[in-house]
A = this chain, B = another copy of it.
Amino acid sequence: MTINRRILLASLALLPALRARSVLAQAAVLPSWNDGPTKASIVDFVARVTTQGGPDFVPVEQRIATFDNDGTLWVEQPMYVQFAFALDRVKAMAPLHPEWKDKQPFKAVLEGDIKALAESGEHGLVEIMMVTHAGMTTAEFEKIVTDWLATARDARFKRPYTELVYQPMLELLAYLRANGFKTFIVSGGGVEFMRPWTQRVYGVPPEQVIGSSIKTKFQMLAGAPTLFRLPEVNFIDDKSGKPIGINEAIGRRPIAAFGNSDGDLEMLQWTTLGAGGVRFGLLVHHTDAEREYAYDRQSHVGRLDVALDLAPVNGWTVVDMKRDWKRIFAFD
């Protein structure tokens, strides 16, 4: 092979400019993260798997990263956003169901009786979820979710829920994608509750969202195909359901996984243990009652207990929100 000397020299002349650009890029990485071991562990992992010729290099098509949603990408306190949606739907649907005035758990919802609602137990909660999530086509449900999100406001922050997403995690999603990762959401939440807005809010397209689901039925109605949502659980994408869902939908193991609760434990195990190569697991620990919420082992929503103990054993990074995040929300 002949090397054209002029081209070679011209290329070499470009090097300082390229190096300067790289330093600039480094400084601009994850701006809402404070410098320290947490941020360094992320940047180090990404550098290792993307360094061509390095010992830990991972080809682009294997750079799969999975993110939990509730408590990892957006707020999950004082209740899951999807449950707030369900309660609002019960109120909106009540005029068509006069019998709910005297029937639990609906009576409790309509009267705002939290105690009676809690007493209705899991059975009551499932009934509320089914009546509000089934009985319409997938297209109708998408519109209901979209319309609700456009008007609903969180009680504490007085903002649309889609603004209660963590700015440092948005930067992390974008940073991984800029480094060739395909980012997936793997959430216990309903897949059809998330898909209408994940592209706009997280930059994650519908086909990269995995979640819990109810069964659907295909029907041709007046020449038009529809999928009708049935009041029957299809899949619960939580705990050991997460690796199962990942295997079903992606078909290969992620090399990085991000969660915040014991519901993400098995996803982090599946991602990081016994698979060879460099892997990355991260848990968001909610430690900032002032700017967001502080909770872990005793919380009913997003309990972080076993996974927190296993983090140091397995080499998982634990984000201390108060210490590691310069800001929590874009509006901070």
Contacts and interface: CB of A to CB of B under 8 A. Distances in A.
A273 B240 contact: no
A213 B235 CA distance: 13
Given A191-B251, A192-B251, A251-B192, A227 B244 contact: yes
A206 B250 contact: yes
Given A218-B270, A273-B223, A247 B205 contact: no
B195 A225 contact: no
Contacts of A225: 243, 266, 269-270, 273-274
A220 B192 CA distance: 30
Interface string A193-204: 001000100000
A81 interface: no
A249 interface: yes
A183 to B, nearest CB: 12
B213 A274 contact: no
**What secondary structure prevails in chain A residues at the interface with B?**
mixed
Interface in A218-269: 218, 220, 223-225, 227, 234, 240, 243-244, 247-252, 266, 269
A243 B218 contact: yes
A244 B247 CA distance: 18
A223 B270 contact: no
A175 B224 CA distance: 29
A161 B256 CA distance: 35
Given A182-B207, A192-B251, 12 more contacts: A61-B199, A61-B205, A64-B207, A138-B247, A206-B250, A216-B244, A216-B248, A218-B243, A223-B274, A225-B269, A227-B244, A234-B248
